[in-house]
Amino acid sequence: MKEKAKAVFKGKFFKTVFSIFLLSYLFLKTDFSLVFLGFKEIRWFPFLIGVLLLPVSLLIRAYNWGLVLNREKKVFDFIELNQLNLVALGANLFLPASAGELVKAYYASKLRGEKTKMVFSVFIDKLTSLIAIFLIGSFFSYQEGFNYLAGFSFLFCFLSLLLLYIPTVFSLFFRFFSFDLPPEKGFNLKEILAFLVLPPGRLFLVLFVSLLGWLATYWQIYLFCQGFKVDLSFSYLLAISPALVLARLFPLALNGLGSGEAAFVYFFGLKGVDSKLAILVSLTSQLVNAFIPGLIGLAFFYRYPFRFSCFKSEKS
């Protein structure tokens, strides 16, 4: 067990170093005095409106998870859903590629049991969330001339919907990648396949609410752009949204730090935006949407005092 703990620590250490390296490289390419100037000349009204959109986005995402998890019976109330989402954001401060969602599923299963439903409700919530942003992103990417990004986004949506609507595809997917879901670990493949298929009306509602959450997030980024006097349209931000999301999910970076900023610098640079402004917008978005709610989420860990199995001793 100690070896597993050491492996987890080494993984976190490598990802932290990688993120620091990327950020350092970007900062070396940026005139830091201009960064401070950007904050000095900030337009506070759009900036503060953007900050105030944070709770709206968080509430929408918690409600959306509830649409998936509570569709058969009420498992968690709305307050508990929000607390568990904050716990996930707290875990994301230390884990890569939004792995805090797995922590959320773990804690949820400890509180209510039903490991299969907890894990795959998070899986469906995450997948439908990606489908929603890639779907709208594919349309605007095509409008902006990013044909490859549009094609990839549309293909991702199509394959993901197949995965959700045709249980056999999901079963083949697991067998192809040799994923093991042993019954003794609390997983039941038949139950998984039955739970995965959302009724069409519920699936449409989940996708619609996910889309509202993404629109709130990217409208917030647009307001941050306005605050830092970055002249980009809202439609352009939606066009590059699939690439920005993928950059944040980059597995070698800690919570998307560094890789996300690199994506912002590249796509903003295509419109002539200075790299320091791109980094300002990216880091501000990360601070508001990940770091602040993540710190709040860490405070909720006391309510869910379970330890991860990889840190448990053989006796425990």
Q: In this structure, is residue 195 part of a structural domain?
A: yes
Domain tally, the chain: 1
**Confidence (pLDDT) at 35:** 56
Per-residue model confidence (pLDDT) at position 2: 45
Residue 258's pLDDT band (cuts 50, 70, 90): low
Write the secondary structure of 144-190 as one string of H (helix), E (strand) and C (coil).
HCCHHHHHHHHHHHHHHHHHHHCHHHHHHHHHHCCCCCCHHHCCCHH
Give exposure, 284-306, as e/b (b: 16+ Cβ within 10 Å): bbbebbbbebbeebbebeeebee
52 in a domain, yes or no? yes
**192 pLDDT higher than 80:** no
Instruction: Indicate the pLDDT class of residue 71, thresholds 50, 70 and 90.
Output: confident
- pLDDT, residue 36, reads 58
Q: Is residue 95 part of a domain?
A: yes
Residue 130 lies in domain: 2-303
What is residue 252's predicted lDDT score, i.e. its pLDDT? 52
Q: Could you tell me which residue, 258 or 310, shows the higher pLDDT?
A: 258
Rg (CA), the chain: 20
Largest distance between two CA atoms of the chain: 60
Q: 135 or 99: which carries more pLDDT confidence?
A: 135
pLDDT tens, position by position, 118-130: 888 888 899 899 9
Q: In the prediction, which pLDDT does 299 show?
A: 79
- Residues 184-195: what's their mean pLDDT? 61
Q: Say yes or no to pLDDT of 141 above 70.
A: yes
Q: What is the pLDDT of residue 174?
A: 56
Identify whether the C-beta of residue 124 lies closer than 8 Å to the C-beta of residue 198: yes
First-to-last C-alpha distance (Å) of the chain: 11
> With 90 as the cut, is the pLDDT of residue 255 above it?
no
Residue 312 belongs to some domain of the structure: no
Asked if pLDDT for residue 149 goes beyond 90, the answer is yes
Domain-located, residue 309: no
In a domain, 314, yes or no: no
Chain segment 197-243, per-residue pLDDT in tens: 778 888 899 999 999 999 999 999 999 999 998 999 999 999 999 99
Residue 238 belongs to some domain of the structure: yes
Task: Out of 73-82, 135-144, 185-194, 294-303, give the one with best mean pLDDT.
Answer: 135-144
Enumerate residues 6+ apart whose C-beta is below 8 A from 58.
82, 85, 86, 293
Give the mean model confidence (pLDDT) for residues 76-93.
87
Task: Give the pLDDT mean for 32-47.
Answer: 71
Please compute the mean of the pLDDT values over residues 151-173 and round it to a whole number: 77
Is residue 311 a part of any domain in this protein? no
pLDDT category of residue 11 using cuts at 50, 70 and 90: very low
pTM: 0.78
Q: Compute the distance between CA of residue 131 and CA of residue 158 in angstroms, rounded to an integer.
A: 9
